[in-house]
Structure 1
């Protein structure tokens, strides 16, 4: 057996050991391959990383390391679980400043627990977000609320929906419950919305993505599972299919193309074997966006208590030349993946299940997506998913609203050739209705469901669907619409975007 002292000396980039669940691993060669970056491991170099590791990774992940890197057990009496997560909410970390509905979650250990709404009193997703903000750890808050650089894209995602007006019609019989069912990525859904892919749901609740699988199954909607889900994808699919209260729904897999491109084949094979029904290939993340809040948290959490960064005062520090940094800057994924690779992905996935591309932001790329065909004349993609990654990739990238309007103005035929889906800033049923008016088939909600499960677990996610259903029904009736299929440009005012009625 190894002692904690044996492990502690291996605390650098040149020799990095970590303890996970009482066993020691040499992760030195894996540092630059880690999707979260080397720093996320190095801050636990020579120490116990169990608490952080279990929050983020599905069970069994560590076993994928080569056997030669499994160094054995650590003596229980010498193991000290890291205190980083326990004390990072006081002296060494201050939560980023969030909007009013994303109140800061940091508080001193001596502060009384904040008073929050009970589940039944939560009337909106904003209410659920406020409850979540009072419960989230600083680590979770830094991840869930972060956006690229200035957070302009993150914030404008939400703001642009408020810039679209609605045009209600009156004296129409709206007594029957409006029809809200639609086809989402090839599968029937009770609502024109789905649970968008988002990583690290266990930051908010121990069951993580399992809460969302139950919600999709019980409320007859779709769940899209991230490659970086904190529960193993087959376990999420198993929960979805076996839930005793299941009333429908569907389950999709979101694929990031790994740095080693051929490794995508393993992920696709796993998704197929687990029963995922559609594949969404993320195309807007060849590199990871610069997310200051999340990056800053990881640096501060990596400091030992009382440690000062003496490098601040040195004038002889010589960092790498720009462009000469070790590895490829922020390259957690494959940066060579191109349109020509879609035929390979289609071959791996097969012709019998839907394949979509996620991360399209312009009319130009939407057009190109419609022009991709296999050798047998079949269109390679079955849908286009407009997204700026929740404002976490390229700051100032188009919002969902801007992307929809761009396609409407410059390539309206796209909506006739392929179904279009969107996400980004959607927190209200009226946002869903506005997106459908602009031509979207359905919309995805990522943060909204993360807030809901962080607030109340599965019950919170179920409540989120109830709230959205109520808001969509109310909006349809007040618009004088009996079926979501009737929604169109005649129901929205786009004057804020310089578009006169009837000009699209």
Structure 2
């Protein structure tokens, strides 16, 4: 049994050991392959990494990487501490303990669930309650946050053109989303590391989706495994519908992608959301800064800054944590590995790629700028929908189009459908409900969206989603006058 003193000696990139739940692991071979980057592991080299591991990973993550993680054995009792002296900035970046987190929840002016009237209420509450580490991760955007901010702002630039004196007593909001029935034209968009906001993580989404009859997308980087989520979905005693979709980030070793797809298929995931907008990880300054501060040692500031490689001569592709070679040519083997279920490309951001997706025979496209976390100044969902509508309207006739990005109200959902989207994904809005109120919070958030969607439809004078079209929108705050005529209805 290795002692803590022995473990502490293996604290470099050449020999890296960590302790997880009392077991010592050699993770040296994993460092350069770790999806969260090498620094996430090196910051815990030679230490007990249990708390950090449990926040970001499911219980069977270690078993899924047998060639990169070597089990050394149980750690010996005693033998000294493997923890370094506290960093000079420890007070600034220290994560709250479970006890202090619980105390902060009890003492806070937490908005009661019955008083939550919008997704913004959940966001406001969650951002007050979350520890800094979680708040930064969930709220960060890329660089100037332009893409993040425009996601929401552009929905507000579209206004409605309602009809009156229409019988709105009976109404249907049901839709087929990626081949499955949904009670609403919305689904839970895949988000990573939900366990940072609630110990049950993505299982809160799963229960809520099953109980309210809408689909849930599960990220490759979910803190709960596909198996855990599938079992929760199947066994929820209050399930009244719903379905599971699997979001894939293609890893650098493509053979691992085939294994991941086979597992998702065997567990009953109905559609594949292939993420295509991340050949490299976006530059997320606030989150990157927090991680560097958290990893800062007591003497790090005194060390001379090492001269980096010449620009463009780095040994690897900077910020590439997935397969940077992924291209349109990879779609055939991905389609074959996935089988007959719907294949949706997630991350389409221009009309050219929408047309290319149509040419490659996918089942749908998912317009998304990754919540404003990838390319700064990326277009909003509204901009892309309008661009496709102007230049290639046939895309809407031949492909199912889905969107996410800044959707916080039922009015946003209805606007998206008027523009041609079949349904919308909601990520952060439901994530903040999970953070502030757990499963019940997500159920309540879905209920709020239902109320807002049907209220908007009735006030527009429509009773079925199929009746929504461009004529219900006013583009005067979005386009020049010459463009408005393109979208206006004819009397």
Q: TM-score, normalised by structure 1?
A: 0.90
Report the secondary structure of 2:402's partner residue. strand
Q: Give the Cα separation in 2 of the matches to 1:153 and 1:84.
A: 40
Q: Give the Cα separation in 2 of the matches to 1:209 and 1:111.
A: 20
Which residue of structure 2 lines up, in the alignment, with residue 286 of structure 1?
279
Q: 1:12: how far off?
A: 1.8
Report the secondary structure of 2:365's partner residue. strand
RMSD: 2.5
1:348 paired with 2:349, answer no
8 Å CA contact retained: 1:174, 1:480: yes
Q: 1:192: how far off?
A: 0.3
Which residue of structure 2 lines up, in the alignment, with residue 100 of structure 1?
none
Q: Give the Cα separation in 2 of the matches to 1:150 and 1:67.
A: 36
Q: Give the Cα separation in 2 of the matches to 1:443 and 1:303.
A: 40
Structure 1 pair 117/81, CA: closer, same or farther in 2 (3 Å)?
A: farther
Q: Give the Cα separation in 2 of the matches to 1:455 and 1:81.
A: 34
8 Å CA contact retained: 1:48, 1:79: no
- How many residue pairs are counted as aligned between the two chains? 480
Q: Give the Cα separation in 2 of the matches to 1:129 and 1:68.
A: 37
Q: Give the Cα separation in 2 of the matches to 1:428 and 1:15.
A: 50
**For 1:204-223, what aligned pairs fall within 5 Å after superposition?**
204-223=197-216
Residue from 279, 289, 301 that aligns with 1:309: 301
8 Å CA contact retained: 2:29, 2:68: no
Which residue of structure 2 lines up, in the alignment, with residue 102 of structure 1?
none
**For 1:216-235, what aligned pairs fall within 5 Å after superposition?**
216-235=209-228
Which residue of structure 2 lines up, in the alignment, with residue 10 of structure 1?
10
8 Å CA contact retained: 1:180, 1:484: yes
Residue from 417, 420, 426 that aligns with 1:439: 420
Once the two structures are overlaid, the 10-residue window that deviates more, 14-23 or 461-470, is 14-23
Which residue of structure 2 lines up, in the alignment, with residue 44 of structure 1?
44
1:421 paired with 2:409, answer no
1:427-461 CA distances to partner (integer Å, 9 max, x unpaired)?
Answer: 11100011001000000001111101011110000
**For 1:68-83, what aligned pairs fall within 5 Å after superposition?**
69-78=70-79
**For 1:188-337, what aligned pairs fall within 5 Å after superposition?**
188-304=181-297, 306-307=298-299, 309-311=301-303, 314=304, 317-337=306-326
**Structure 1 residues not aligned, in runs of 5+:** 96-105, 373-378
Q: 1:172: how far off?
A: 1.6
8 Å CA contact retained: 2:230, 2:268: yes
Once the two structures are overlaid, the 10-residue window that deviates more, 399-408 or 338-347, is 338-347
Structure 1 pair 384/140, CA: closer, same or farther in 2 (3 Å)?
A: same
Q: 1:499: how far off?
A: 5.0
Q: Give the Cα separation in 2 of the matches to 1:260 and 1:371.
A: 27
Q: 1:127: how far off?
A: 0.4
Structure 1 pair 175/111, CA: closer, same or farther in 2 (3 Å)?
A: closer
Q: Give the Cα separation in 2 of the matches to 1:369 and 1:111.
A: 46
Q: 1:173: how far off?
A: 1.9
**For 1:108-119, what aligned pairs fall within 5 Å after superposition?**
113-119=107-113
Report the secondary structure of 2:18's partner residue. strand
8 Å CA contact retained: 1:25, 1:70: yes
Report the secondary structure of 2:245's partner residue. strand
Structure 1 pair 68/192, CA: closer, same or farther in 2 (3 Å)?
A: closer
Q: Give the Cα separation in 2 of the matches to 1:9 and 1:83.
A: 12
Structure 1 pair 90/164, CA: closer, same or farther in 2 (3 Å)?
A: farther
Q: Give the Cα separation in 2 of the matches to 1:261 and 1:438.
A: 36
Q: 1:142: how far off?
A: 1.4
Once the two structures are overlaid, the 10-residue window that deviates more, 256-265 or 112-121, is 112-121
Q: TM-score, normalised by structure 2?
A: 0.93
Residue from 148, 168, 171 that aligns with 1:174: 168
Report the secondary structure of 1:241's partner residue. helix
Residue from 396, 403, 407 that aligns with 2:384: 403
Which residue of structure 2 lines up, in the alignment, with residue 98 of structure 1?
none
**For 1:370-385, what aligned pairs fall within 5 Å after superposition?**
370-372=358-360, 379=361, 381-385=362-366
Q: 1:89: how far off?
A: 7.9
Q: Give the Cα separation in 2 of the matches to 1:442 and 1:184.
A: 7
Q: Give the Cα separation in 1 of the matches to 2:39 and 2:272.
A: 31
Residue from 106, 121, 125 that aligns with 2:119: 125
Structure 1 pair 122/297, CA: closer, same or farther in 2 (3 Å)?
A: same
Structure 1 pair 145/81, CA: closer, same or farther in 2 (3 Å)?
A: farther
Once the two structures are overlaid, the 10-residue window that deviates more, 197-206 or 131-140, is 131-140
Which residue of structure 2 lines up, in the alignment, with residue 145 of structure 1?
139
Which residue of structure 1 lines up, in the alignment, with residue 486 of structure 2?
503
Q: Give the Cα separation in 2 of the matches to 1:276 and 1:325.
A: 39
Which residue of structure 2 lines up, in the alignment, with residue 358 of structure 1?
346
**For 1:86-101, what aligned pairs fall within 5 Å after superposition?**
90-92=91-93
Structure 1 pair 83/486, CA: closer, same or farther in 2 (3 Å)?
A: farther
Once the two structures are overlaid, the 10-residue window that deviates more, 212-221 or 316-325, is 316-325
